[in-house]
Amino acid sequence: MESRAWLEMEAVVAGALSNRPARLQRQFIVFLRLLQALPLVRHGRTFTALSEHKRAAFLASVEHSKLLVVRRGFWGVRTLIFMGYYTREDVADAIGYCPSANGWAARGGTVATVPLAPALWVEP
């Protein structure tokens, strides 16, 4: 990603965190520092010094940790990253995302025409 895109993403994440209590902001920072330092134990390197393959393996292990608090932290960070990425205008354009306050009606549909997974489908 180019530097402008990173700055946009960081601004969205910073904005989302600025609305949160100071305690949660501190927890987020501590969790990121933990993610940076934990690979030292196994690989002798910080997260950012790992190869792409080892980074992915490390993140997978964090995602599936036996510790609930670690899994929650991972999913919180993941959610912020997705929010920062998918709210960028160029990404929305690239994937054809064009939200409207009118919902599906703006696209010529109704609630009954919204495609849902079969388990979620409710007949009108």
Would you say the C-alpha torsion 35, 41, 45, 51 has a positive or negative sign? Answer: negative
Is 63 within a domain? yes
Say if 85 falls within a structural domain: yes
Identify the weakest region by mean pLDDT among 29-43, 61-75, 88-102: 88-102
pLDDT tier at 95, thresholds 50, 70, 90: confident
- Look up the pTM and report it: 0.70
Longest dimension (CA), the chain: 58
Would 53 be classed as within a structural domain? yes
Q: Determine the structural domain holding residue 49 and report its residue range.
A: 3-98
